[in-house]
Amino acid sequence: MPSSQLHFTLIQTDIQWEDKTANLTHYESLLNAISGPRHVVVLPEMFSTGFSMAPERLAEKMDGNAVQWMAAMAAKHRCILTGSLIIEEDGNYYNRMLWVQPDGHIGYYDKRHLFGFAGEDRHYHAGDTRMIVQVNGWRINLQVCYDLRFPVWARNAGDAYDVLLYVANWPQQRSLAWKTLLQARAIENQCYVVGVNRVGTDAKGNSYSGDSSVFDPLGEPLWQHAHTQAVHTITLDMDTLQQVRDKLPFLRDADKFILT
C-alpha cells in the first residue's frame, strides 16, 4: 500500500554560470540547512552549470563528480535527490534528469523535447523513453523543462502515475506559459504537479523568475514562489488524490493512443 503522504523539498535558487564547484558547494549548504521530513529533494534543470550549450567542455559521465556528489548527499540526508545534469554517454550528450536514492541506486530520464529555439537540439541527444519512478508506493513521472509544452508525452494513461515532476531553466519572459501549463497538466492528468525552476540571470542575459509551483489534482495551487531563492517542503496526500479520481473519474474516458 502506498504511504498516505509524500514530502517534497523544492530548491529554487540562482545558478553560477558553468561553475560546477561553486554550485555544488551552494547546494550542499542548502541541503545541510533542511530540517524536518523529506522524501524527495528537487534541484533545477542543469543545476551544476546553468542551461549551457557547451557539453563538450562540461559533460561528465555517470561516475563523474556531480553524480558522485548527488549520491553522497542522498546517502547523507537519507533522501532521494533529483535534478538534471549534462551527461556524456557513448559519444552523445544528454540533458539527463537523475533520480538518486540513498542506497546508491540511480535511475534517470533523458529529456525528450530539446529546445531548438536555443540550439539544444544541435548539442544534445533526445531521449525516447518515459521514466516513471516509485517511492513509498507513489508513482512519479520525470520530465524536463520544454517537455511541459507537449501534453501527449505527459499523458496519464489510467492511473499510471500520481505526480508529474518538472525541473527547469524557464525564462521569466515566458513565465505565464510555465505557470499555466503546469496547472493544465495537473487538471488534465488528475495528478499532483511539481515544477522547480531557477532564479537569477545567466551569462546570456536570460532572467529567471523561478515561479516554482505545486498544483493539486484539481489544478488548485498549493504553493508558488517567485523571484527569490526558496527552499520549501510540501506534503502531498494520497487520500486527496484518490478522492478526486474516484469522484471525477475523467481518466477513464481519455483517448487511447500509443506513443511511437
Question: Which band of pLDDT confidence, cut at 50, 70 and 90, is reported for residue 256?
Answer: confident
Domain boundaries, the chain: 5-253
In this predicted structure, the answer to whether residue 1 has a pLDDT above a threshold of 60 is no
pLDDT at 57: 98
Residue 3 or 205, more confident: 205
pLDDT at 159: 61
Question: Which band of pLDDT confidence, cut at 50, 70 and 90, is reported for residue 166?
Answer: very high
Fold type of domain 5-253: Nitrilase/N-carbamoyl-D-aminoacid amidohydrolase (3.60.110)
What stretches of the chain adopt beta strand conformation (E)? 5-12, 40-42, 80-89, 92-100, 106-110, 132-135, 138-144, 163-167, 192-196, 199-201, 207-215, 221-226, 230-237
**pLDDT by residue (tens digit) across 15-28?**
999 999 999 999 99
In this predicted structure, the answer to whether residue 3 has a pLDDT above a threshold of 90 is no
Give the DSSP letter of residue 60. Answer: B
Question: Which band of pLDDT confidence, cut at 50, 70 and 90, is reported for residue 257?
Answer: confident
In this predicted structure, the answer to whether residue 258 has a pLDDT above a threshold of 90 is no
pTM score of the predicted model:
0.97
Pick from 183, 157, 178: nearest CA to 167: 178
Q: Over the chain, what is the mean pLDDT?
A: 96
Question: Which band of pLDDT confidence, cut at 50, 70 and 90, is reported for residue 157?
Answer: confident
Query: Which residues form the catalytic set?
Result: 45, 111, 145
3-class secondary structure, 73: helix
**pLDDT by residue (tens digit) across 208-251?**
999 999 999 999 999 999 999 999 999 999 999 999 999 999 99
**pLDDT by residue (tens digit) across 60-104?**
999 999 999 999 999 999 999 999 999 999 999 999 999 999 999
d(CA 224, CA 195): 9
What H or E segment, with its residue span, contains residue 65?
Answer: helix 65-77
* Mean pLDDT, rounded, for 129-138: 96
Residue 7 or 160, more confident: 7
Reading the block at residue 100, the C-alpha cell is: 538518486
